[in-house]
């Protein structure tokens, strides 16, 4: 069954939405946990979709220092092995008008640019990275700022996410949320308006927009009505 959604802009998370960086993220956290002889599994349960600083404060607050954040960030900047694009990501971005989409990521700007380059994509100038905001996901600040940079109302945007903190951020900003089951099971993404395995079933109807909107078509369940 096909469904359509009219939006003014699309705000993409990066890791787990446009590219799969799980091998790097998990290797880095395992190395860091081994250095400090702390269990890694509690960290990995909350690491996806959060800034490094916020992950440390959530999982191991006693080690949430600038020095540790710098070590983790530097380690990720040296490791791009195994990063690959999410199916359908390149095709969807190519079909969208450049001024109608951007990225909201918990990564730093340099890391985001390098990871995207590793899969043949570019970081748009309008992207919101971790340095641009005081409060990371699940706070709505990143998505609100991204919508503002595109001249859009957050309530007229579609957020594409893969993790509960990002879904909460998108919903708190007032946006509709499409979630991908690339890093979490569907039952963990229950606040999303629509859940898909990847981006291969998402299409943009060129020339089918009305007012200023862009029409997004999926081949699975419907978005709820506004």
Question: Do 67 and 10 fall into the same domain?
Answer: no
Report yes or no on whether pTM surpasses 0.75. yes
Strand partners, 15: 19
| Residue located via tokens 């919101």 | 128
* pLDDT tens digits along 102-126: 999 999 999 999 999 999 999 999 9
> Can you give the pLDDT at residue 1?
59
Q: Give how many domains the chain has, as a whole number.
A: 2
d(CA 188, CA 97): 31
Domain holding 118: CATH number?
3.40.50.1000
Question: Do 59 and 166 fall into the same domain?
Answer: no
Question: Do 62 and 120 fall into the same domain?
Answer: no
Residue 225 lies in a domain: no
Question: Do 101 and 157 fall into the same domain?
Answer: yes
- Domain that includes residue 69, residue range: 22-77
Please tell me the number of Cα atoms within 13 Å of 45 on its side-chain side.
Answer: 8
Catalytic residue set: 13, 15
Question: At 222, is the pLDDT very low, low, confident or very high (cuts 50, 70, 90)?
Answer: very low
Strand partners, 188: none
Residue 21 and residue 163 in contact, taking contact as beta carbons nearer than 8 Å: no
Question: Do 171 and 70 fall into the same domain?
Answer: no
């Amino acid at each position: 069954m096909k469904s359509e959604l009219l939006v003014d802009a699309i705000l993409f998370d990066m890791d787990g939405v446009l590219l799969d960086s799980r091998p790097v993220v998990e290797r880095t956290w395992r190395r860091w946990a081994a250095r400090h002889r702390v269990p890694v599994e509690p960290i990995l349960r909350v690491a996806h979709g959060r800034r490094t600083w916020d992950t440390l404060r959530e999982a191991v607050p006693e080690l949430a220092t600038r020095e540790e954040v710098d070590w983790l960030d530097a380690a990720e900047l040296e490791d791009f092995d195994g990063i690959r694009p999410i199916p359908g990501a390149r095709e969807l971005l190519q079909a969208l008008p450049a001024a109608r989409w951007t990225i909201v990521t918990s990564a730093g700007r340099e890391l985001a640019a390098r990871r995207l380059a590793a899969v043949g994509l570019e970081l748009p100038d309008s992207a919101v990275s971790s340095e641009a905001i005081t409060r990371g996901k699940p706070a709505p600040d990143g998505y609100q700022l991204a919508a503002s940079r595109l001249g859009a109302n957050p309530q007229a945007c579609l957020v594409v996410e893969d993790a509960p903190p990002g879904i909460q951020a998108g919903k708190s900003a007032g946006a509709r949320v499409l979630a991908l089951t690339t890093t979490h099971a569907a039952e963990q993404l229950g606040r999303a308006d629509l859940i898909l395995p990847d981006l291969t079933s998402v299409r943009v109807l060129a020339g089918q927009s009305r007012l200023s909107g862009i029409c997004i078509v999926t081949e699975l369940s419907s978005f709820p009505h506004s």
